[in-house]
Amino acid sequence: MAILCKTIHALRAVGTFGRTLRKNRKGTAVLEFALIGPAFIALLLAILYTMLIYLAQQMLETAAESSGRLLLTGIAQTTTQANGTVGMSASDFKNAICNGASGTNASGQAVTIPPLLPPMLSCSRLTVNVSVATSYNVASTSAPTFTYDSNGILVSTGSGYNYQSNGSGKNRIIVLQLIYLWPTGKGPLGLNLINEPNANRKLVATSVFTTEDYSCNASQTSC
């Protein structure tokens, strides 16, 4: 009989504890966050991961548009630079995009080019590709193919500064591409936007235009 009474008291105590536990809401928020929080944080990181790539792409597009004007107006082809060289070589053109440049134009007026590449982007990761097309129908705007050796080191960009002057630069169709290797990695929730070795994503900004009928520098026979 005593054992039965103890059992009944124990069951009543358990029932009372159960009812109290159901009514006690302390710690509910912590439990809910433990269940939902990781997925929510992963989603925010995935959004940030994608946003940074789109931001870098937009910055590259803006730089390509501004850089294109150097060729469009003949500044890159005719400016006498601070070192006395007339017209920009491939390295001069890239340096002007990254760090700016100064000199005098064909009319002898001072020219100052501000840096065109945003500080968020590194010049060491930038490749500049300039080519000439005979018509807009045949102009190639596909991204150059980068090749790597067995160690994953970039050995060829398939690009160059192929602007060839032959008299006035009027009506010359130019295809300018800025190619950038954006360092990234695999994002949360299985997101992976890597398309080049060494955890990089290749970003390409292309500008196609016809150059103006600018005048060559007096020291140039063609530009």
Task: Render pLDDT for 82-100 as a digit per residue (tens, 0 to 9).
Answer: 888 999 999 999 999 999 9
More confident: 2 or 204: 204
100 lies in some domain: no
pLDDT at 200: 95
Range of the structural domain that residue 143 is part of = 29-72+123-210
List the single range of 38-52, 123-137, 139-153 with lowest mean pLDDT. 38-52
pLDDT at 8: 53
Confidence of residue 185 (pLDDT cuts 50, 70, 90): confident
Confidence of residue 173 (pLDDT cuts 50, 70, 90): very high
Residues in the chain: 223
108 lies in some domain: no
Residue 21 has pLDDT above 70, yes or no: no
92 lies in some domain: no
What would the pLDDT profile of 149-166 be if each residue is shown by its tens digit? 999 999 999 999 987 666
Domain count, the chain: 1
166 lies in some domain: yes
158 lies in some domain: yes
What would the pLDDT profile of 39-81 be if each residue is shown by its tens digit? 878 888 888 888 999 999 999 999 999 999 999 999 999 999 9
- 114 and 150 Cβ atoms separated by less than 8 Å: no
- Strongest mean pLDDT among 3-12, 52-61, 103-112, 135-144: 52-61
pLDDT at 11: 47
20 lies in some domain: no
13 lies in some domain: no
User: At 117, phi and psi to the nearest 5?
Assistant: -90, 125
112 lies in some domain: no
- pTM for the model stands at 0.81
pLDDT at 221: 82
